[in-house]
Amino acid sequence: MPEQLKRLFPLFAIFIIIFLIIRHLLIPDTFGLYGHYRGDALKDNANIELVYASKEACIECHSDIREMLEMDEHSDISCLSCHGPGLEHVENPETANIEKPGSREFCGRCHAINPARSTNMIIQVDIKEHHAEKKDCIDCHNPHQVWEIKE
């Protein structure tokens, strides 16, 4: 065996041993317990406090909105998409702790013209030109009622 290999093998073995020691110290004991992730992550996630309410929780108090939404284009969208997490509102139904969207910027997230978005699914509006006096969308459109589209 060449002399240079005799010098490299112990060095290589030292690197492998150092790597295995560092790996042992850094990888949690529960890694791989339930798959290729840290097993304690399940416990950590179970302990996270919930902040999201379900659509059903919203409908318990807002049955009038449910009736309007059943016939609307927004019927498949969760209340949380527009009004935020909502659990705080469910627990304490003050109007101050729920988002009330309707601005041009907010509605524009989905309804502004975007060539990558299907016009068959989402009505698109040129926000800069549509009612250029800069009214909020909610001033003319109620997202909880069936929309009339004027061609």
- pLDDT tens readout for residues 45-65: 999 987 888 888 888 888 887
- pLDDT tens readout for residues 89-110: 888 887 677 888 888 888 888 8
Domain ranges of the chain: 55-139
For the whole model, what pTM was predicted? 0.58
DSSP tally for the chain: helices H, then strands E: 7, 0
Sign of CA dihedral 116, 118, 122, 128: positive
Residue 129 amino acid letter:
E
Maximum distance among all Cα pairs of the chain, rounded to whole angstroms:
87
DSSP state of 149: P
